[in-house]
Structure 1
Amino acid sequence: MLRMKIVVQVKLMPDAVQAPAIGATLRTVNDRATWVSGVAFAHGVPREYELRKHTYAELKASGLGAQAAQHTIKKVRDAYTTLKANIRAGNLGKPGSKRRVKAESKPIAFRPDAAHPYDDRCLSWQYDAQTVSIWSAVGRLKDVRFACSPDALKTLREYRKGESDLIERDGVFYLIAVCEVPAASVNENPAGFIGVDLGIVNIATTSTGYRAAGRGLNRHRKRQIELRRKLQAKGTQSAKRRLKHRSRKEARHAANINHIISKKIVTTAERTGRGIALEDLTGIRERVRLREDQRAQLHSWSFHQLGSFLEYKARRAGVPLVYVDPAYTSQRCSQCGHTDRKNRVDQATFACRACGFLVNADDNASHNIDRKGKAVWTAGRESRVPATP
């Protein structure tokens, strides 16, 4: 059976004795991780086995358990592997750029509340009681309560496998557990595709008629921008704390909206036996030309996150999903195929210069994406069929 990895987040609810112990544990392991990082940097970031020879004894002497010490070393080595991959991919700029030089010139430092991994020897779950037993720097903490939704609890009980990360946000502790859930077999013969057009005024418009309007969301984002501007102007420590809090709150709000939209689209595709066609928007922020007042709207919404939510939900439901070239989807008439920049009268209106077809511009684009999706899927299937001898 095909399986896919997802994460489930639960909120820890420690008592007055457990909470300080958990907080002290996170600060301790991250302080030790920063020290290990300095050792790794000094030795040219050796492999994990060699790094262990330089640091393991000291970590044990500082009070970390065997497993906690191993996880601390592995966390540091993984951080440098990620840094190297980002440098190789050009995510930190070109050689000699200020950002890249800064990243390469000093050891990686870990925040006091950064995530720390726990395996089954350091953390055990009691699902019926909704408690965990967790290792801490002051000893094993038992009967630490946690809260989550019934669906999340069911997923944890049936599919949790591997490590869980302990993190702290605004004084609240969370466990993020890895679960391996079964992925449905992909429907190889979809009854068509649902084209999804992503935008700013309408976050998502589908060829089935569903439209996730962005008017209310854009108002919300404008309010957040104004609040951030006021807090930035103050520049006090309390204002900076509020800025971080509001940033996380807005990110959670955006993720919730993206979850709602993606769930509706995937549910419709699953019910109707169709696939999903999405525009490949890789590099859209660099390609598009926008007015100054539009740039904040484009850069403040996570289209990539919405696409990733659609992708993993579709995989779990067995719904085929394809990415198509977005070129001319907003200029091509979905009725007669005539392509002309002048067909797009304004943001909301599409009027074909050839056949006179008049429709909402996003609806027209979604139907073009729908057709491109069918073509991509057909071409992919034909490429997988062996040639007849």
Structure 2
Amino acid sequence: MSVWTEKIDKDEIGGKRKQQFRSRPWAASLILIGGSIATVLSVALSVSFGAADIEFATVWEAIFAFDSTITQHQIIQELRLPRVLGGAMVGASFAVAGAIMQGMTRNPMADSGLLGLNAGAGFALALCFAFFPGLPFMYQIMYSFLGAGLGAGLVFGVGSLAKGGLSPVRLVLAGAAVSALLAALSEGVALYFRVGQDMAFWYAGGVAGTKWNQLELMAPWVLGALIASMVLSKSITLLTLGEEIASGLGQRTRLVKLAGTIIVLVLAGSAVSVVGAVGFVGLIIPHLTRYLVGVDYRWIIPCSAVLGSLLVMLADLAARMINPPYETPVGALIALIGVPFFLYLARKERREL
């Protein structure tokens, strides 16, 4: 019996209602094709518009016939193009990390920002700037991985101490508490060791300072993690049915969770090391994707990557267009959507408890 198209009685996993597990390949195909086209157009718009608007013809020439003596070509190649590509990778990373976390934990409010991964990575970066100034970006990424793991471990540990064990709401409350603690520690380290300027990019959140060397180091990690997430996608779909059912269908649930956790840490750590404190991408995009394509993670993961990239690129473009020549923090713009959405989910979960 196929778990992708049959009705599953939720009594088998502790529920009382029936839920239909369906996928919509046609909708996913439309999202992948349409989203990819929209992403290319967004790249063109983002490279063209800014403090100084540049014509599309000049953008084309700067990419395919670069001339280092032309100032506009230098602006495109050294500033705008790495910024846009960095935003695309960051959006895909946050979105896929959120989708995997929600699938593995069966927690609709799971997100790298809400569950302490972003704050943990920021704390690790603060220690890196304080004790190892001038450390190459490669090692900063490694510190981000370790910090993200620390944040996640603390959140799950604190959440498990509550009577009755973990629940979606308790997990988010523990994430808020741990994130606040780690953020305060990061600020304390920044003030005491006078590395506040180095940490400023992380607090603001944005892709303005992205450089080619950062993308060269980040890309292999992100691409490898995205490929691994696709390999793991079928197993994550089975985990959404519950561990007992997944085990009964032949899944090695502990191994799947371990692999999924490593993928999430790599994606979240890489993204935070580049873009800083940008939250809610991994919360909003997986929910939107599931609504459009169903619950098959073989479609959710690639569609989340495309939509996440599109969201961050458009938010970055809007950040430059709202009050030129000044820039609005990208994290603040995404939070305008993310906070109401989070409150809606929290209220929904409370009604279902």
> Is the shorter-chain TM-score for this pair beyond 0.5, marking a shared fold?
no
Which is richer in helix? 2
Higher relative contact order (CA 8 A, sep 6+): 2
TM band (smaller chain): under 0.3
Give the TM-score of the pair, scaled to structure 1.
0.24
